[in-house]
Structure 1
Amino acid sequence: NAASNAPRMLTSLAEAIDRGAQVVHVNPLREVAGTRTIVPHEILDMATFNSTPTSTMNLQVRPGGDLALVRGMAKVVFEASETDPTALDQDFLDRYTTGLDEYRAMVEATPWSELVEQAGLTEAEIRGAADVYLAAKRTVISWCLGVSQHQHGVDTVREIVNLLLLRGNVGRKGTGPSPVRGHSNVQGNRTCGINHKPTEEWLAKLDEVCGITSPREPGLDTVHTVAALHRGDLKVFLGMGGNFVRAAPDTKLTAEGMGRCELTVHVSTKLNRSHLTHGKEALILPCLGRTERDEQESGPQSISTEDAMSSVMLSLGSRKPASPHLLSEPEIIARLARAVMPASATPWEWYVGDYDRIRDVMAKALPGFEGFNELVRQKYGFRIPQPARERDFRTPSGKAEFSHADLPNVIPEEADVLVLQTMRSHDQWNTTIYSADDRYRGVRNIRELVFMNRRDMKERGIAEGDLVDIVATSRDGSVRSITAFRALEYDTPRGSAAGYFPEMNVLLGPDDYSRQSDQPLMKDIRVRIAKTA
């Protein structure tokens, strides 16, 4: 849902359609911005409430049915190749890929009845999407958490890449897979090594440049951090921004784990609920925001950020800091490092005096960052090299490898079980809730609600606005529930439901995460819904 999750994307979609592009939305929920929008900077349109199309086709797939949809499209592409030699980019496939024959055999052996059932779409709808794909000279497939937060999320992303490979839509201008990755800190952290399992090659280069010996023991991701906190294995929690307790699944379990820490430290620009859930000792370290002036020894400082398209740019704050006592995040980290390791040979204070010095070290340690300070000062910054864009595939075979994943069964065995997705409202940004309204979904002054299909409501004797109880059974066998939520009819596929996080976080247990990616299954919660007694 671009309107809520990537609002700046709406203008690009409207402009693409104006140029004649085909835009296909895939979403279990029929969302307003999936069809039309009023482009914010078009003053006349805003004044006259003139909306612009944002799609040329909408596919209301069942939750988790994306893999079946994409495989069905691949089936049509293979069928077309029997009579049309241009349906497959055979030259690209021969030169740059491996595993095509096995993939083709698997796709052709999958019956349409199974694809239709798992996708929740008709064969005609899947064929219609495939026809759009076959007619396009260039295709980009973009996805977000609706694909990722499933047990088989990694397999689905690989299937998306399979489909793109068939027509050479990787490594050509205007083509490729395009995950919507969110905040600049998400991208930049991974690029700069904030990874619980960095490669030996990456660590060895860092050690060589910085004159240190990095630990080789793998760290913990969010899911396993929550478990370790609850066991009492972690004694210190330090968070750089964020609202860990509210963002993580099972808020209560996470909060209990935080309370077992000896020390919790939050480096933040503003207060949030996690600050109220702390260990035996707690610190809140307020820091400069990105829009505030950061003055250091060498003068005003710029920080470098990476966007969703891997472009790195400088960001210079211009606002007067909220307090003269605020420190920047780099300075807080440097002071912590010096306090913990007073004899450290790393020149922490020198780095903070001029952030260019940090970037000079990054230029030596990070591949693709050579000449960092010069590149980032170009008008639009620079784009980090991505080998696959140059058709340089860093795999054991040296080629793009087709995935051969089994088609998952995404339909619950029990007829009374629904698949619940959690999501944000329009007036919400991550865990920050600005109001209890959800303008695009026609909701005012309520968040304790569940959106349901009309027929599912009727089968359960639930009327519009009734209070309902929602019960989930976690993988570990524990039963979790929320009570007195308001049921509202919404255009969502039969067998599915949706509601807001973090209100529904309690329905997810610590064991409810994908074994492929460690992503919490926030789009695949199996629930039973009944009227509140």
Structure 2
Amino acid sequence: MGKDDVVGVGDYEGAAAGWGALKAVADAVRGQMDIVKETRGLLSMNQPHGFDCPGCAWPDPKHTSSFEFCENGAKAVSWEATAKRTTPEFFAAHTVSELWKWSDFDLENEGRLTHPMAYDRATDRYLPISWDEALARIGATLRALPHPDMAEFYTSGRASNEAAFLYQLFVREYGTNNFPDCSNMCHEATSVGLPESIGVGKGTVTLEDFDHCDALFCIGHNPGTNHPRMLTTLREVAKRGVPIIVFNPLRERGLERFTSPQHPVEMLTLGSTPIASTYYQVKVGGDIALLKGIMKTLLALDAKSVADGGPGVLDRGFIKNHTAGIDELLADLDATSWDAIEAASGLSRLDIEFVGNIYAKAERVIINYGMGITQHRHGTGNVQQIANLLMLRGNIGREGAGISPLRGHSNVQGDRTVGITEVPNDELLDGIARVFGFDPPRHRGHNAIEAVEAIRDGRSKALVCLGGNLAVAMSDSEVTFKAMRNLDLAVHIATKLNRSHLLLAKQSFILPCLGRTELDVQATGPQSVTVEDSMSMVHASRGGLKPASEHLRSEPAIIAGMALATLPETRVGWANLVSDYGKIRDCIEAVFPEFADFNARIKQPGGFRLYVAASEREWLTPTRKANFFVYPGLDEDPRAANPAALTLTTIRSHDQYNTTIYGLNDRYRGITGRRDVVFVNERDLASRGLKHGDLVDVSVVSDVGSSPGERVMRNLTAVAYNIAQGSIAAYYPEANVLVALDHYDAESGTPSYKSTPVLLRASPSHEVLRRLVQAANE
């Protein structure tokens, strides 16, 4: 059966972006926005005096064009600035039980929330409520908890620095460090692994470094869908003739070729720029083996160079003066066999040695990585092995070289910078005590996994969510959904309705907030907020569109109102801070000295870069050196030893951003109008007696984290796809049901969304259908 013979499955022959992207932008704004908002909104995005894209965290170039946005950024804006409204009349017409049966797309597609709402159990409906009553009830319930640690406070990475700072201030004055946040589910392995390696949990490169690198590695990320504005940078690097080496289990169009909408010749001639000079399809979960193989190659090249009287390949000066732990790393690499590396990575020694030679010859190398590296049981190990590889040749702390983690949400890095963390350090807590006059709690709080476990076990009874869709984003949907229904209080600060709002506590509230595109007017006039991108650039963002409803409040105003309702003896001047966000920034600067002259510096076009010590070869580690870390073995999951096992990675479609589903198409992978598919290597299908288009069930290998019959996705359509053998892929968040809550990176707590051993079998319904067809033919 050919691809075109399966409904909604075909081939996409074009490059990334190009005319297909422009058509998708037009379709998105046509479906959601009016022409005035379309023009004012999109042309203000990522401009010096406009608003920051609510999508990805890729940096803005210094010289922005009038079209400094991508397809998915345009979708994000149209989704937020939609003309559609979810009003009290909508909730009056639909019970929560009815809405639960709606798709996630349909829930959000109803449009912007307009009024504060409270759930009424007698009618099974959300009913409108005044702001004063909602905040009073929330405050009373939080005060009534036996201990502050019985409440969880979630943060989405789209919250501004100002909102996030006020939020952590409120929660710490309340008395807990329970801050599950979206970073726990994406780049926590970076936040844990890099401080141990290089002293800071951030990347060391700037956008300008890409102008000077002479080799670029892309590992475990898909820019065409998840950070499309990066494609412009990759195009510029490729045009310079710099080798771009890609490692990814799936062939992704955005890593293969790109047609830039901002270059008329490419558009008019239907041309494109090749991106990857070399593309290797590493097995899902095989990154540790790959990285060790490249390092083994370097050591062999170094030994040969020295034996021939040469200088060697390793940067001995950097290693001697700036690092610790090299001997342990060398011993581990020596003990790792090539046979094991080939088996675990799915790549040949010849291919890995070819890459090692490219790396050895390059003087300035940048390594980019995404959640294909971090969302594993060994995510922290993956990150630290990347750091090891860079340090062997001194590729950290110099122009055109460094480590580049690719963040998802536009301010997930900034939220962590201003205090959203369950593991606060003394500098943060001492700063709060010094500036605000209260002693914040010193004990460790809950991350996302621990928060769900505490809610499941009845140890936490309240959940406040600053944006996001926590229950849907979390692993182990069945366990997580059940846990959320055990709460006494659930509060959701949101722009749109989503499934998490339908998981009802004894008291559930939806508090509608302004979006980033909208004008935020407080007592002193219109306000700006700030965000931090993946490369530590902080810049201002100011919306200009009329708010979706007169009843909306800004996130800082909602947080301040909640604090005043909860903390009768607060030491913080909440009303004063919210009247002028510049005063919030003054407080951020007082607590965090790296924000010196905060209000002045955000007036500069493009903002300013926070100090990243490792970029200057200052190592803020206990050893005052950058540290090589050994990861024992190659982390082959014991469940993968089952000869029938495949390793599942969850992926985003091109029509979504995290849990937000803009539509049911995945253009670059050839999927139209559906999400109920699983991508499988054709050989893996054939070895199981399956073929393209068959209905299949995917179930977890059951000896870890589940029992037989649990965690199954049924009746998915198998799509023969160019994916590494032994690996399969299904869409997030639907496939979260297959990821056990206790299947995560022990060091960072990151759920293992990207490597779960599973079994693939023909669905019983498919077998029934096959027999019916066979009988009809006979």
Aligned to 1:426: 654
In structure 2, what residue type is equivalent to 1:530?
Answer: R
For the Cα contact (< 8 Å) 2:486–2:505, is it kept in 1? yes
Q: Which has the higher contact order (CA 8 A, sep 6+)?
A: 2
For the Cα contact (< 8 Å) 2:645–2:701, is it kept in 1? no
In structure 2, what residue type is equivalent to 1:477?
Answer: S
| 1:41-82 superposed Cα distances (whole Å, 9 cap, x missing partner) | 223322332111111111111111111111111112112222
| 1:294-326 superposed Cα distances (whole Å, 9 cap, x missing partner) | 111111100011001111000011111112221
For the Cα contact (< 8 Å) 2:531–2:541, is it kept in 1? yes
Deviation at 1:26, TM superposition (A): 0.7
Are 1:18 and 2:239 an aligned pair?
Answer: yes
| 1:463-495 superposed Cα distances (whole Å, 9 cap, x missing partner) | 110101111145333232121110110111221
For the Cα contact (< 8 Å) 1:183–1:308, is it kept in 2? no
Aligned to 2:757: 526
Aligned to 1:318: 544
Give me the whole-angstrom Cα distance separating, in 1, the residues matched to 2:448 and 2:267: 42
User: 2:625 aligned to 395, 399, 424, which one?
Assistant: 399
User: 2:393 aligned to 122, 144, 167, which one?
Assistant: 167
Aligned to 2:365: 139
Are 1:465 and 2:693 an aligned pair?
Answer: yes
Aligned to 2:727: 496
Give me the whole-angstrom Cα distance separating, in 1, the residues matched to 2:647 and 2:593: 42
In structure 2, what residue type is equivalent to 1:70?
Answer: L
In structure 1, what residue type is equivalent to 2:232?
Answer: T
Aligned to 2:299: 78
User: 1:297 aligned to 507, 523, 546, which one?
Assistant: 523
Deviation larger for 241-250 or 84-93: 84-93
Are 1:362 and 2:588 an aligned pair?
Answer: yes
| 1:298-355 superposed Cα distances (whole Å, 9 cap, x missing partner) | 1110001100111100001111111222111001101111111133131000000101
Deviation at 1:203, TM superposition (A): 0.8
Deviation at 1:246, TM superposition (A): 1.1
Deviation at 1:86, TM superposition (A): 4.9
For the Cα contact (< 8 Å) 1:473–1:480, is it kept in 2? no
SS in 1 for 2:593: coil
In structure 2, what residue type is equivalent to 1:107?
Answer: L
For the Cα contact (< 8 Å) 1:454–1:489, is it kept in 2? yes
Give me the whole-angstrom Cα distance separating, in 2, the residues matched to 1:519 and 1:398: 27
SS in 2 for 1:504: helix
Runs of 4+ in 1 over 4 A off after TM superposition: none
| 1:503-526 superposed Cα distances (whole Å, 9 cap, x missing partner) | 111112221112121111111111
Please list every run of 5 or more consecutive structure 2 residues that lacks an aligned counterpart in the other structure: 1-221, 765-778
Deviation larger for 205-214 or 283-292: 205-214
SS in 1 for 2:396: coil
Aligned to 1:379: 605
In structure 1, what residue type is equivalent to 2:751?
Answer: P
Aligned to 1:212: 438
For the Cα contact (< 8 Å) 2:250–2:723, is it kept in 1? yes
Aligned to 1:148: 374
Please list every run of 5 or more consecutive structure 1 residues that lacks an aligned counterpart in the other structure: none
| 1:94-133 superposed Cα distances (whole Å, 9 cap, x missing partner) | 1101111221232133222222221110111101111111
Give me the whole-angstrom Cα distance separating, in 1, the residues matched to 2:289 and 2:571: 55
Give me the whole-angstrom Cα distance separating, in 1, the residues matched to 2:666 and 2:409: 22
Aligned to 1:50: 271
SS in 1 for 2:442: coil
TM-score (norm 1): 0.97
Aligned to 1:513: 744
Question: How high is the sequence identity, in percent, across the aligned residues?
Answer: 42
For the Cα contact (< 8 Å) 1:425–1:438, is it kept in 2? yes
Deviation larger for 80-89 or 195-204: 80-89
Aligned to 1:123: 349
For the Cα contact (< 8 Å) 1:77–1:87, is it kept in 2? yes
In structure 1, what residue type is equivalent to 2:705?
Answer: D
Are 1:477 and 2:706 an aligned pair?
Answer: yes
Are 1:7 and 2:214 an aligned pair?
Answer: no
For the Cα contact (< 8 Å) 2:701–2:759, is it kept in 1? no
In structure 2, what residue type is equivalent to 1:58?
Answer: Y
Q: Identify the structure with the greater helix proportion.
A: 2
Aligned to 1:446: 674
TM-score (norm 2): 0.67
Are 1:32 and 2:260 an aligned pair?
Answer: no
- Per the alignment, do residues 382 and 340 of structure 1 end up closer, same or farther by CA in structure 2, a change over 3 Å counting? same
SS in 2 for 1:184: coil
